[in-house]
């Protein structure tokens, strides 16, 4: 309500000098910028939303608050009014895409009885009720603070800080049972060190929520492991020496799965077979994590294969026993795949 009041004031509502055509054109530019921004955001980040639902849920709320801040600032810069409101609309367009996509992912998490439609309808009703109450209180606040810029800014900043804190705590409480790259790294490292698997609630306290790595949660080794894995690399991007290693791996007895692993400057690159399933993607990533964990040894590749043959099935069973979903790995879409003759043991 505070930001809308400021925006309408900046457009010229209530002033005789303001024209309908001018206000319409400014509003058109604002909406157009938001539409284009939503399309571009989906193009560049759409495949990452599902695998990092908690982070993008928080980012969506932050971008929404940033958009409202731009609206509130707009009357202070009349000469740059159109630019400021377009930036605010652009920020809110990111919110629309990210919040809609993450809401779908989180609804699936809460639908314990496969009743996603019921959960979504009830969540929408709760949000509508909360919005109605917020609008009533917002109208009262806007009326009380009108003509008092200091009170307006104090109220806005206080509510924004509380809003972000509440959303951060809410996202932190989510114990998702799906496996993404970071959660896989955390549970695997703990399993390799102790032989036990962490529960979703335990992992939720260790994983990063903020987009930037400013949190000190988790060990540095866990944080670095999954960032060193390149899943679904393009074969033509490999150097000649790396291609030779890849070919030797494909011809050896190690090539039983629908993926190939090669080390590249202490990073682990994974080439996926064109017929690889979701289970193969999960197995390839766990295999790459094991090899990355053992890179200090000269025989890391053979040792990682031995570990996979001995412990992978046990690892999956323990994950399932604690409620983890092991059908797939939440990861951005794998665009590049390759084809080779698979070898199966008889």
Q: Which residues sit opposite 178 in a β-bridge? A: 325
- Using alpha carbons only, how large is the chain's radius of gyration in Å? 25
Q: Which two tokens stand for residue 343?
A: 């070898």
Condensed to tens digits (0 to 9), the pLDDT of residues 88-125 reads 899 999 998 988 888 888 888 888 888 888 988 998 89
Condensed to tens digits (0 to 9), the pLDDT of residues 256-294 reads 678 888 887 778 889 998 889 999 999 999 999 998 888
Query: Computed from CA positions of residues 268, 272, 273, 279, in that sequence, does the dihedral angle turn out positive or negative?
Result: positive
Among residues 276, 286, 279, 340, the alpha carbon closest in space to that of 312 is found at 286
Q: Which two tokens stand for residue 159?
A: 């509510």
Q: Where do runs of H (alpha helix) occur along the chain?
A: 2-11, 20-45, 53-73, 81-110, 116-145, 149-173, 181-194, 200-204, 220-227, 240-251, 278-293, 300-321
Query: What is the pLDDT at residue 8?
Result: 75
62 exposure class (CB count in 10 Å sphere: 0-12, 13-18, 19+): buried
Can you tell me the distance from the alpha carbon of 110 to that of 175, in angstroms, rounded to the nearest whole number? 10
pLDDT tens by residue, the chain, 346 residues: 888 777 777 776 656 655 677 778 888 888 899 899 999 998 888 878 888 889 999 999 999 999 999 988 888 888 888 888 899 899 999 998 988 888 888 888 888 888 888 988 998 899 899 989 988 998 898 888 888 889 989 999 999 999 999 999 999 888 999 999 999 999 999 999 999 999 999 999 888 888 755 554 444 444 467 888 889 888 888 888 878 877 776 666 455 678 888 887 778 889 998 889 999 999 999 999 998 888 766 667 788 888 998 999 999 999 999 999 999 999 888 888 888 776 654 4
Query: What is the pLDDT at residue 163?
Result: 93
Query: What is the pLDDT at residue 294?
Result: 81
Whether 339 and 274 have beta carbons less than 8 Å apart is answered as yes
Whether 267 and 273 have beta carbons less than 8 Å apart is answered as no
Q: What letter would DSSP give residue 196?
A: -
Query: What is the pLDDT at residue 224?
Result: 61
| Sheet (strand 229-231) strand order | 229-231, 267-272, 259-264
Q: How far is CA 157 from CA 151, 153, 161, 294, in A?
A: 10, 6, 6, 48
What are the φ and ψ backbone dihedral angles of 338, each rounded to 5 degrees? -130, 175
Query: What is the pLDDT at residue 287?
Result: 92
Pairing of strands 259-264, 178-180: unpaired
Query: What is the pLDDT at residue 112?
Result: 82
Dihedral through CA 110, CA 116, CA 119, CA 122, nearest 10?
A: 160
* Global confidence as pTM: 0.80
């Amino acid at each position: 309500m505070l930001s809308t009041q400021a925006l309408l004031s900046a457009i010229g509502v209530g002033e005789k000098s303001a024209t309908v055509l001018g206000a319409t054109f400014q509003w058109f530019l604002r909406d157009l910028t938001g539409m284009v921004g939503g399309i571009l955001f989906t193009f560049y980040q759409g495949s990452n939303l599902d695998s990092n639902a908690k982070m993008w849920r928080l980012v969506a709320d932050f971008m929404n608050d940033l958009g409202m801040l731009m609206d509130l600032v707009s009357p202070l810069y009349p000469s740059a009014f159109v630019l400021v409101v377009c930036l605010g609309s652009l920020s809110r367009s990111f919110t629309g895409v990210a919040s809609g996509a993450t809401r779908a992912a989180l609804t699936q998490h809460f639908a314990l009885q496969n009743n996603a439609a019921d959960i979504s309808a009830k969540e929408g009703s709760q949000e509508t009720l909360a919005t109605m109450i917020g609008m009533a209180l917002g109208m009262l606040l806007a009326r009380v603070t009108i003509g008092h810029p200091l009170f307006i800014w104090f109220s806005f900043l206080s509510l924004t800080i509380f809003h972000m804190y509440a959303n951060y705590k809410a996202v932190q409480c989510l114990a998702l049972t799906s496996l993404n790259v970071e959660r896989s790294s955390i549970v695997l490292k703990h399993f390799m060190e102790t032989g036990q698997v962490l529960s979703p609630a335990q992992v939720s306290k260790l994983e990063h929520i903020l987009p930037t790595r400013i949190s000190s949660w988790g060990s540095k080794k866990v944080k670095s492991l999954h960032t060193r894995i390149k899943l679904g690399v393009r074969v033509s991007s490999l150097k000649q020496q790396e291609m030779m290693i890849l070919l030797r791996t494909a011809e050896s007895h190690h090539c039983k799965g629908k993926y190939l692993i090669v080390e590249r400057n202490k990073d682990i690159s994974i080439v996926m077979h064109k017929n690889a399933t979701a289970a193969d993607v999960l197995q390839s990533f766990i295999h790459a994590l094991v090899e990355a964990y053992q890179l200090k040894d000269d025989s890391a590749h053979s040792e990682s294969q031995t570990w996979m043959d001995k412990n992978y099935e046990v690892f999956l069973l323990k994950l399932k026993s604690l409620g983890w979903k092991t059908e797939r790995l939440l990861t951005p879409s794998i665009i590049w795949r390759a084809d080779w003759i698979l070898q199966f043991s008889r």
